Amino acid sequence: MGLGLSMPIGSELRAVIRHRPTTIFSLLAVASLLITGFFGGLVGILPSANVQARHGQGGRVVVDGLAAGMREGTARFVDQAGQIRLELPLRELIGELEPRGTPAENTAMFARRDQTSALLREAGVTLQLPDGRVLPVFTVPSRGFHLQLDSWIALGVGFLSLIIGLWVLVLRPRELTAQLFAISGASLWTASLTIALTVESSIATPGWGMKYLLQVNHISALVFSWALVSIFGVYPLPIVPRIAIAGLALLMGGLGVAGLYDAWTDVFGTQLIAMVALVVLTFVLVLIQAWISRRDPVHRASVAWIGTALVLSAGLFTAVNFIPLLMGSPPLLGDAIAMTAFLLFYFALAIAITRYRMFDLGNWTVHVVRAVIVLLLILVADMALVYWAGEQWTLSIAVLLVALAWMPIRGRLMRLAERRRDRDNMRLIRGANQVAFAIRPSEQAAHWRDALAAQFDPLEISGARADVAEIRDDGRILAIPSPLGGEALALGYAGKGSRLFDSNDLEMAKALHRLVEEMIAARRAYDQGVREERTRIARDLHDDVGARLLTGLHMADQRLRPTLQAAMSDIRAIVSGMTGEQVSLERLLSEVRHETARRLEATDIRLDWPLSEEPDEECLLDYRRNKAITSAFREVVSNVIRHARATTLQVRISAGVDRLDAVVRDDGDGMPEAALAGETQGFGLRNLKRRLIDVGGQIDIRSGPGGTEISLSMPLGLAAASSTSKQGVTEPRGDLPWPT
């Protein structure tokens, strides 16, 4: 029964985790906040003493705010009767104890703290210091939530680290990297809680409590260091075997247990050495990951981002803590405040693991490095001024000096960035102009592809489906819809694979798409204006010039009538072309046949052009093909009339849906070789070839003593013309059947 109930409950829980990660995260976040708040209240009720001691410069101990401090000595607790109840080293007056001795010495130190805590609860106890001061000592009431700033910062850092780790785990619960990251967040949270307790500790805190606080803190630090090493052993590429990670975990666990039992002298120091070794190993693994990932832009971006954050975090921590100690000064900030530097690294690691906006990590890295450089310059200048001139006004002067030095450098960097932006804008405008003003759709598509290639230099371009421009596959792919209404394109690996697409590339792609659309719309508006003006001119030609020619046709004699009729036919063709009117191939060939027959009749040349071979009326021609066919036949007939001395002209037409083939043959004297080569004037062959080439056509001329045969061929469809217009004059398609 119990198993039957547990299985549905377990499956429902897994379904909730899989499909409602936000709910799970919210519950975990609330629980974490409650636990953190509980520890905050626990910190507030810790017993506290009215006398406080802290570390001073040069190894001194500062007691109750006396700035000069004292070197090593013995402090004595004296009761009301004047009897010395306890003697202890001066450094043990500081709230945080450091168990750096033998097990017996450490046990004695914590026992003295227990005695001190008990003495402070007695009335009339005083503290005799080596400098001669005698201070009354006693416990003070609970502070509640009125904690020191360092305590609040430690609690905040711990809570944020835990929340970030849990969020990554909820998003990717099955990934080992996310699991290790959550462990690191939990361990950092635990360490932060113990730091908050330690910050508020005093000589009134029992020794047993301090002992367990320090042990939990050290174990948490060991777990955190192990988790970082393990993360970089498997992310972004697995380079450390899992058995090695497990073995390292056992080693760190054993070291933590040794600390619990104080197994040997200075276990705390051994743990510190282990932590430092793990930090160094983390740096080494980051460098190895960077070397292995150098050819993968996504992995390279994540490693660069993490490495930068790690170096900057460690650099900030070193700048505010270790450098002042080397200069003989106390740290600029407490341990809790200095821990906030590691939040930068923790955020960076979370972003890299979840791959959030991976394509923008390069831009973020630049901004972070710039900000941290300015901050480090201010810190260095401030420490130098403190060393040479004392503490008064040093921070303000440091900020002023860094600002005066930084502004010219920033201006120079801005000018370089603007120069690069201007080059990108010019390339953008040039590419959009070529796309918008290409003549044919195929040319527009080719120019659009070339513009994208010139702008982003991708390693590959392929077809895709996209309604809007977007970055895909963590920055590897940039998908862009076509402004021409065609297939969208996917650009792969920007900069020939050297980088990822980022938000700047996305904005540039959107700008290029928008610019092409606006230019195409402007061109269409211009073309519409041109068409309207052509229509007006065509109407004037038809109404005015056509009317005058028609009047002249009725008044002219028989010799001028053919010329006027030809002129009127030309005007009709021009008007049709200007207004975009299409003419059927049957009508066009009928008019050409009629004109040819009339011209040959005047020169006593017989025309052999059967009517039955004309095409269907469904084939329509635009003005360019209309004019090409008419001019070609006129030129051929003119050459026959002028040069051939023929008696018969034969014409055969073969027209399909998308192609027209014509063969014209005369029985004259033929053409000279120079005319066939286009080296003589008067035959018009150059113009004839040029007209046919413009519409994607071909011409083949065979001439001999028995006459001349001219084969004409041209596409009737626009697509065929656009694909063949670049080929020029090609070899003839072969002889057509010639009737005998």
**pLDDT tens, position by position, 646-683:** 899 999 998 877 788 999 999 988 877 766 665 555 55
Number of structural domains in the chain: 3
Segment among 144-153, 397-406, 731-740 with least mean pLDDT? 731-740
> According to DSSP H, which parts of 318-360 are helical?
323-326, 335-338, 340-354
* CATH number, position 665: 3.30.565.10
- Name the token pair of 634: 């006129």
Query: 734 falls in which pLDDT band (50, 70, 90)?
Result: very low
Residue 78 lies in a domain: no
Mark whether 557 and 608 lie in a shared domain: no
> Is residue 723 located within the same domain as residue 658?
yes
Q: Does a structural domain hold residue 669?
A: yes
pLDDT in tens, 426-481: 777 888 888 888 878 888 888 888 888 888 888 888 888 888 888 887 778 889 99
The answer on 407 and 287 residing in a single domain is yes
Residue 347: predicted pLDDT: 75
Which CA distances in Å does 40 have to 33, 166, 190, 318?
10, 21, 13, 28
- The answer to whether residues 554 and 605 belong to one domain is no
Mean pLDDT of 544-562: 67
599 plus 563 within the same structural domain: no
Give me the mean pLDDT over the 111-115 stretch: 90
- Tell me how far apart the alpha carbons of residues 608 and 597 are, in angstroms, rounded to a whole number: 9
Average pLDDT over residues 11-22: 58
Res. 359: pLDDT tops 80:
no
15 or 690, greater pLDDT: 690
More confident residue, 616 or 105: 105
Contacts for 164-172 with beta carbons within 8 Å, 24 or more apart?
164/346, 164/347, 164/350, 165/189, 165/350, 166/25, 166/28, 166/29, 166/32, 167/25, 167/350, 168/350, 168/353, 168/354, 170/17, 170/21, 170/22, 170/24, 170/25, 170/28, 171/21, 171/354, 172/353, 172/354
Tell me the average pLDDT across 369-379. 60
Looking at residue 694, its pLDDT comes to: 83
Same domain, 454 and 566: yes
Token output for 11: 């499956």
**Residue 357 belongs to some domain of the structure:** yes
**The predicted structure's pLDDT at residue 230:** 93
- Identify the pLDDT of residue 649: 92
Q: Residue 332 pLDDT > 70, yes or no?
A: no
Domain of 685, in residue numbers: 582-740
Q: Say which DSSP state 727 is in.
A: T
Whether omega for the bond prior to residue 732 falls within 30 degrees of 0, making it cis, is no
Percentage of residues in the chain having pLDDT higher than 90: 7
Q: What does each C-alpha distance from 639 to 612, 669, 707, 710 come to in angstroms? A: 26, 12, 12, 11
pLDDT for 9 beyond 50: no
Q: Is residue 226 over pLDDT 80? A: yes
pLDDT > 90? residue 737: no
Asked if residue 139 belongs to a domain, the reply is no
By percentage, how much of the chain surpasses pLDDT 70?
Answer: 70
Confidence label for 739 from pLDDT (cuts 50, 70 and 90):
very low
pLDDT at 232: 87
- Does residue 61 lie within any of the structural domains? no
Residue 417 placed within a domain: no
Shared domain check, 537 and 480? yes
**Given 379, 412, 445, which residue is the final one in a domain?**
412
Instruction: Tell me the pLDDT band of 529, cut-offs 50, 70 and 90.
Output: confident
Sign, CA dihedral 4-10-13-15, equals negative
- Residues 605 and 675 both lie in one domain: yes
Residues in the chain: 740
Same domain for 242 and 271? yes
When mean pLDDT is compared across 158-172, 311-325, 454-468, the lowest value belongs to 311-325
Task: Name the more confident of 580 and 7.
Answer: 580
Task: Give the end of a domain, one of 578, 600, 619.
Answer: 578
Q: Is the pLDDT of residue 244 over 50?
A: yes
* CATH (domain of 215): 1.20.1070
Domain boundary among 578, 613, 641: 578
Q: What is the pLDDT of residues 266-317, one digit of tens each?
A: 787 788 788 888 888 988 888 898 888 877 776 777 777 677 777 667 666 6
Residue 491 confidence (pLDDT) above 80: yes
User: Which tokens belong to 123?
Assistant: 């009335």
Question: Does residue 116 fall inside a structural domain?
Answer: no
Residue 137 lies inside a defined structural domain of this protein = no
Tokens of 557: 């004699």
From CA 698, how far away is CA 725, in angstroms rounded? 10
Q: Taking the alpha carbons of 668, 671, 672, 673 in that order, is the dihedral positive or negative?
A: negative
Residues 325, 385, single domain; the answer is yes
Question: By mean pLDDT, which of 7-21, 288-302, 620-634 is the weakest?
Answer: 7-21
For residues 108-136, give the mean pLDDT: 88
Q: Are residues 236 and 297 in the same domain?
A: yes
Task: List pLDDT tens digits, range 136-155.
Answer: 988 887 666 667 778 888 88
**Residue 668 shares a structural domain with residue 733:** yes
Q: Residue written as tokens 């201006």? A: 411
* pTM of the shown model: 0.56
Distance CA 511, CA 507 (A): 6
Q: Give the pLDDT score at 722.
A: 38
